Copies of this chain bind each other. A is one copy, B any other.
Amino acid sequence: MKKTSPAPDVGCGAATLQLHRVAIDTYRENVAYLNRDCGVYRAEGFQALSKVEVRANGRRILASLNVVDDPAIVDCGELGLSEDAFAQLGVENGHPATISQAEPPSSIPALHRKIAGERLDREDFRAIVRDIAEHRYSKIELTAFVVATNQGELDREEVYFLTDAMTGVGRRLDWHEHPVVDKHCIGGIPGNRTSMLVVPIVAAHGMLCPKTSSRAITSPAGTADTMEVLANVELPFARLEEIVREHRACLAWGGTSELSPADDVLIAVERPLSIDSPGQMVASILSKKVAAGSTHLVLDIPVGPTAKVRSMPEAQRLRKLFEFVAGRMGLTIDVVITDGRQPVGSGIGPVLEARDVMRVLENDPRAPNDLRQKALRLAGRMLEFDPDVRGGDGYAIARDILDSGRALAKMQAIIAAQGHKAFDHNAPALAPLSFEVNAAQAGVVVAIDNLLLARIARLAGAPKVQGAGVDLLYKLGERVEAGAPLYRVYAAYPADLEFARQASQRSGGFTLGSADELPHLYVEF
């Protein structure tokens, strides 16, 4: 079936207007406002919602056009811009600007071929990713790309092309050193804050580990959210570089949008659609790691009934895809398939997770052992990237570093360098309101629903409210008496507490049964 050709590029001359900041926050979507009576609007044949190009101060942005009928919002001769869009031009109110019809992005024919199910080549992906990174795609076009490249629609070579193209459009760091190590988890497991343990351990060993971490998107806490309880995480790049040079590591970073700008744009449609296909996940993760200058990566794929990956064959397929693309990108990768049957540690939410992390670092007897063990094993695998560490010795070295307090000292040095915040893991600043969810009957914990517990923690206010979240009092395989509290929920506001309570009332997220009902543990750790 022939596609009709896209809207004609009329290439009309641009018109000059005075820029006017319209104090409307349209969130990531650039909107231009033009008065309907404005000569430019009529003469240029603009249509509402059509994409326009605005130039001022040597910069150029694309925006969707809204037509205004109130001169108090935007008058004739003015060109209104939403807050974000205005900020992108970096000028004052009244600055002259030109507006013209935006040309359709040149990669649209390639997008159409992908929608029609064709295989794209390296140049196609480069063109598409460049247009995406430069905000030339509308939300509709972005969504079309995400859906058309979803699930099985990309072969492994195409995933490599996509990854390479995403790396190509961003900033790329070079640490002038080898190896540069990193770890990453594909996500989905609440409380899984191993990075904050692994990074100080491998840095204490002397490895360079400039950890790129992110804030939560759909989870109750990201590593950056949790680290922010202990230290400043938003630092200028030059300062971070100094910290990494001095301490071999950092646990900060907001700059992933610079490293993989296309990824940042794609997430804006992937998130509301809850699409997270293998190809897009691999491209997103590996493009950021390569751009951040990593040469070696330990990748954690948790498997479990409520994890992102639910079966061992699925995990193996994903591992193969990561290995293929990493190989083509020149990145050494060690993929570790881990136990994703339940949250890691006890706390879910920034303060609660920071408490768990600090307890492990302090060798506190209350430290959650599963978090400690997982972090040691992952750190061990990373240490084995060191050519001087013999295969199989990594775990013991990591344990020595942790037990000796060298990991804690390294963490304290990183915290001090990034800018210390007051935190007492013996008296963490939890949100003031709380309730407990109790066991309806006695039994052994045979299932914990990662998704539901993450959702309860988010409803309770995490990660926005640092002290909100869920504190688990039992884990898989433990015996619970009837009426005993399974977990405690913390919230700052009555409404949040109520939402969390409603969500926890439906099923609670815990399944009690007999020990032989425990789900099979697929993996080594």
Contact = CB atoms under 8 A, between A and B. Distances in A.
Contacts of A510: none
A58 interface: no
Contact of A67 (B24, B68, B112): B24
Contact of A2 (B10, B73, B188): B188
A151 B144 CA distance: 13
A272 B23 contact: no
B148 A1 contact: no
A25 interface: yes
Contacts of A238: none
A422 interface: no
A69 interface: yes
A112 B1 contact: no
Contacts of A328: none
A277 B26 CA distance: 33
A273 to B, nearest CB: 6
A495 interface: yes
A115 B275 contact: yes
Given A69-B24, A70-B23, A273 B1 contact: no
Given A1-B277, A117-B151, A24 B73 contact: yes
Given A23-B70, A26-B49, A116-B151, A272 B140 contact: yes
Contacts of A73: 22-24, 73
Contact of A10 (B117, B281, B499): B499
Interface string A63-85: 00011111011000000001100
Contacts of A499: 8, 10-12
B274 A5 contact: yes
A503 interface: yes
Interface stretch (A204-212, A228-236, A306-314): A306-314
Nearest to A458: B8
Given A140-B139, A308-B1, A495-B12, A67 B147 contact: no
Interface in A468-511: 493, 495-496, 499, 502-503
B459 A10 contact: yes
B455 A8 contact: yes
A11 B308 contact: no
Nearest to A138: B272
Contacts of A48: 25-27
- This chain: how many copies in the complex? 2
Interface stretch (A28-36, A127-135, A239-247, A248-256): A28-36
A5 B66 CA distance: 33
A218 interface: yes
A224 to B, nearest CB: 19
A27 B33 CA distance: 12
A7 interface: yes
B455 A5 contact: yes
A274 B111 CA distance: 11
Contact of A69 (B23, B278, B455): B23
A413 B144 CA distance: 47
Given A3-B274, A140-B273, A150-B115, A68 B308 contact: no
Nearest to A499: B10
A4 B66 contact: no
A370 interface: no
Interface string A32-57: 01001000000101011100000000
A329 interface: no
A314 B27 contact: no
Contacts of A10: 459, 499
Contacts of A140: 139-140, 143, 269, 272-273
A267 interface: no
Contacts of A496: 45
A49 B69 contact: no
Nearest to A186: B1
Q: Which 5 A-B pairs have CB atoms at the shortest separation, nearest pair first? A: A27-B48, A23-B70, A143-B143, A23-B69, A25-B67
Interface of A: 1-8, 10-12, 22-29, 33, 36, 43, 45, 47-49, 66-70, 72-73, 82-83, 112, 115-117, 138-141, 143-144, 146-148, 150-152, 188, 218, 269, 272-278, 281, 306-310, 314, 318, 451, 455, 458-459, 493, 495-496, 499, 502-503
Given A29-B49, A143-B147, 14 more contacts: A2-B310, A3-B274, A4-B451, A5-B274, A6-B274, A10-B499, A12-B495, A22-B70, A24-B66, A26-B48, A138-B272, A140-B140, A143-B143, A147-B148
30 contacts: A1-B314, A2-B310, A4-B274, A4-B308, A5-B455, A6-B274, A8-B455, A8-B459, A8-B503, A12-B495, A22-B73, A23-B69, A24-B33, A24-B66, A24-B69, A25-B48, A25-B68, A27-B48, A29-B49, A45-B495, A45-B496, A69-B83, A73-B73, A115-B147, A115-B273, A139-B139, A140-B273, A141-B273, A143-B143, A143-B144
